[in-house]
Amino acid sequence: MSPSAAVFVVSDSIGETAELVARGALSQFNEDFEVIRVPYVGDKAHIVEVVARAAARGRSAIVHTLLLPELRETLAAEAAARDVPQVDLFGPTLAALSEVAGGLPRMEPGLFRRVDEDYYQRIEAVEYAVSHDDGLDPRGLEKADVVLVGISRTSKTPVSMYLANKRLKVANVPLVPEVPPPPELFALPRGKVIGLVIDPDALNDIREVRLETLGLPDRATYASRERILEELEYAKGIMRKLGCPVIDITNKAVEETAGAILQMINGRETHERG
């Protein structure tokens, strides 16, 4: 009985892209093919060995995503010599895009996978920020890269989301005099928590606009100067207990506040490595 047909998926990285394309094409056939992935092919000797395996197997084809031209040329020559069909998935595409871009590609194996991982890390960070926004799920604070604390309208949420797009897991906890902070907050390592404060007059203007947007009277306690001073004093007391660095966000754009936080985090990591 003749062996089943086989497709050798060859790559100088993990080979996921080549296998995905190969399986997509194989779905159009009634015959069952064995897919044999050969990842991390980095030299000509390995290519010669793979082509020899495919030729010895019989009823085989090679699908590859090799980046380096010398490896692609070696595979093409070996496959032609041994009468093994081969498909170069990257070569023609790279050539066409080089024409459009007016320059050569970077030729870094595994780069797509790194970009892919970067995307999923960003999605994970955004999901974390959403599920830990405004004091939600304090049990998950220990998994945060940074925790922002401050009173209402100190840009905690927009800064959290901005940093999440930098792949940082950011939680934020509101500080309200009538609601004790979660005990998990005080258990965090020093330096992981960052406080946000603001000038009371600036905050008064922000809150009045907020009330107007909601259709509420501007006389509400939420926007009164006395209430704002009370909240700020309370928040600063909590921040002193936490021993956390504090950023004054008055007249700062979200990007500026996030940049200051990134500097703090980078300084913290440099200190920990030292």
The tens digit of pLDDT for each residue in 204-216 reads 999 888 888 877 7
Yes or no: say if 63 and 9 are a contact pair by the CB < 8 Å rule.
yes
pLDDT at 184 exceeding the cut of 50 = yes
Q: What are 171's two structure tokens? A: 């939680």
Q: What is the pLDDT of residue 1?
A: 42
6-109 against 113-273: fold identical: yes
The pLDDT of residue 164 is above 50: yes
CATH 3.30.2000 fits 113-273, yes or no: no
3-state SS assignment for residue 28 = coil
* Residue ranges covered by each domain of the chain: 6-109, 113-273
From the list 196, 197, 198, 191, the residue with the least C-alpha distance to 242 is 191
Fold exhibited by the domain 6-109:
Rossmann fold (3.40.50)
pTM of the model: 0.61
Question: DSSP label at 176?
Answer: B
163: enclosing H helix or E strand? helix 156-164
Rg (CA), the chain: 29
pLDDT tens per residue, range 129-151: 999 999 999 999 999 999 999 99
134: left (phi over 0), alpha (psi -120 to 50) or beta: left
Check residues 103 and 19 and name the one with the higher pLDDT.
19
Largest CA distance in the chain: 89
pLDDT of residue 274: 52
**Cross-sheet strand order for the sheet of 146-150:** 170-174, 146-150, 193-197, 246-248
Q: For a pLDDT cut of 90, what percent of the chain falls above it?
A: 64
